[in-house]
């Protein structure tokens, strides 16, 4: 006799495990299936984010930033350190311990909330049934009132640069496991993942070259921020080649020669390691039986409505397998929304205020619309900007690169978007996320009291600058009538 559940969640990443916990909290009998196997050969939860994504990459970013600070920037504070060295094995061990702590934490949360953890592979069958194949075991059928698909995404590989077993050409997962700092590192793709991983190894001493097929740097971000970022990354030693389309690669003598077209010319570079970071695609292979009734598009994304319901009754899909940005926090909130809707609540999600963050140094973050998007829509708007170079707390911390930028509607003054490049950009952008969620105007932020001295004051001043009222910088001169 098959097991019966109120909800079966397929996938234990930030979408799936959050959905499972919230379902259990709402009194629903819940199981969560995940196929991930950890380094110790045992099943773990947390998905890409906890195991080989958001968390381990931030651990390496933090270590590499501290190393670079000690090596290059302590002297401005009058601190002498002598020769500074990096022990890569210790750095990796610290990263692995953080991952272990968090994945064990998810297992503990499942236990405390009564979620049944099932290690193996899940396949959606017709009639809200799920075929569960345990790791190393035989398949069994589960019955559910609701099924939530949260199988996440995997890195995109490209034919010109196939991954190799020796670990010379790697994806984002392999880039977290280099046992020594490569002398020359190539990165294909100047997106979030490529810039973060390039930053890690560049700070530790690698000569980093980034090959980006797009002609614009960070084309999804506000272009004032993108230009500032490109300038700062170049100053840090990152060689960014725009309009560079990779055409082939060849491994010989422990190195890889990459061929690419740049400005109509055929060029090549030799690297010790090559990271392929050209994006991610939904992981849906073997997920759906032919008669499951769940529709997908040609790229493998599952069709859902605004509440994440699929074309099959009782089947939901969340996270990287559906439309929208592939972000862990977006996935988690979709998980909460779906859990609450299954429980009979009218939960909704505001897709207009999902922040994006790039954890380089300086950090880059944005929410809502860029100035280019607002301009293209023909809306009348005002812009306020404030540089960290004029912020006392940023000066005290010797971290003055970048600025805060706020775009507001010219008539209603409602905030349409914000972008930050600089210290704690992700946290500062979140302040604007909260404001936008409540429909705030730039004037609303300008009237709030911000603690002094904090880098948050840059948000305050940018909001004031929307109406030429910034206190700590010169405002635009009003046009003469």
Lookup: tokens for 273: 């390691």
CA distance 294 to 303: 8
Closest CA to 357 of 319, 391, 328: 328
Asked if residue 371 lies in contact with residue 224, where contact means CB atoms within 8 angstroms, the answer is: yes
Asked if residue 124 lies in contact with residue 10, where contact means CB atoms within 8 angstroms, the answer is: yes
- Residue 71: count other Cβ atoms within 10 Å of its Cβ: 17
Instruction: Quote the radius of gyration of the chain (alpha carbons, Å).
Output: 24
Peptide bond into 362 cis (omega under 30): yes
CA distance 284 to 120: 15
Phi-psi region of 152 (alpha: psi -120 to 50; beta: other; left: phi over 0): left
CA distance 193 to 438: 31
- Find the catalytic residue in 219, 409, 452, 472: 452
Token pair 């779906």 in the structure block, residue: 338
Clarify whether 345 is annotated catalytic.
Answer: no
Lookup: tokens for 138: 């035989």
Residue positions annotated with a catalytic role: 452
């Amino acid at each position: 006799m098959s097991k019966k559940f109120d909800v079966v969640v397929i996938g234990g990443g930030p979408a799936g495990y959050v959905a499972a916990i919230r379902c259990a909290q709402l009194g629903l009998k819940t199981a969560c299936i995940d196929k991930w196997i950890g380094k110790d050969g045992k099943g773990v939860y947390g998905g890409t984010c906890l195991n080989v994504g958001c968390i381990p990459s931030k651990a390496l970013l933090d270590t590499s930033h501290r190393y670079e600070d000690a090596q290059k920037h302590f002297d401005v504070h009058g601190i002498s350190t002598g020769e500074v060295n990096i022990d890569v094995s210790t750095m990796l061990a610290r990263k692995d311990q953080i991952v272990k702590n968090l994945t064990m934490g998810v297992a503990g949360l499942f236990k405390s909330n009564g979620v049944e953890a099932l290690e193996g592979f899940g396949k959606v069958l017709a009639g809200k049934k799920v075929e569960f194949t345990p790791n190393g075991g035989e398949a069994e059928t589960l019955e559910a009132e609701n099924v939530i698909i949260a199988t996440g995404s995997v890195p995109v590989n490209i034919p010109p640069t196939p991954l190799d077993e020796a670990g010379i050409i790697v994806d984002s997962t392999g880039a977290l496991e280099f046992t020594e700092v490569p002398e020359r590192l190539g990165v294909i793709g100047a997106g979030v993942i490529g810039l973060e991983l390039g930053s890690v190894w560049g700070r530790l001493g690698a000569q980093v070259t980034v090959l980006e097929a797009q002609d614009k740097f960070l084309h999804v971000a506000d272009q004032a921020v993108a230009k500032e970022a490109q300038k700062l990354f170049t100053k840090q030693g990152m060689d960014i080649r725009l309009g560079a389309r990779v055409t082939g690669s060849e491994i010989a003598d422990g190195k890889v020669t990459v061929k690419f077209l740049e400005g109509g010319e055929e060029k090549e570079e030799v690297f010790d390691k090559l990271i392929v970071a050209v994006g991610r695609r939904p992981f849906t292979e073997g997920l759906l039986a032919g008669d499951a009734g769940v529709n997908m598009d040609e790229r493998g994304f599952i069709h859902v409505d605004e509440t994440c319901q699929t074309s099959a009754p009782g089947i939901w899909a969340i996270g990287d397998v559906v439309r929208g940005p592939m972000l862990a926090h977006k996935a988690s909130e979709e998980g909460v929304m779906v859990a609450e809707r299954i429980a009979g609540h009218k939960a909704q999600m505001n897709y207009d205020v999902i922040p994006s963050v790039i954890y380089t140094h300086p950090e880059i973050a944005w929410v809502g619309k860029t100035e280019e998007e607002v301009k293209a829509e023909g809306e009348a708007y005002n812009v306020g900007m404030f540089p960290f170079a004029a912020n006392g707390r940023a000066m005290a911390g010797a971290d003055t690169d970048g600025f805060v930028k706020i775009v507001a509607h010219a008539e209603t003054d409602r905030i349409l978007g914000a972008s930050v490049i600089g210290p704690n950009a992700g946290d500062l952008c979140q302040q604007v996320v909260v404001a936008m969620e409540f429909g705030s105007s730039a004037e609303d932020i300008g009237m709030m009291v911000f603690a002094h001295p904090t880098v948050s004051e840059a948000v305050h001043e940018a909001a004031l600058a929307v109406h030429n009222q910034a206190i700590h910088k010169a405002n635009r001169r009003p046009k003469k009538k």
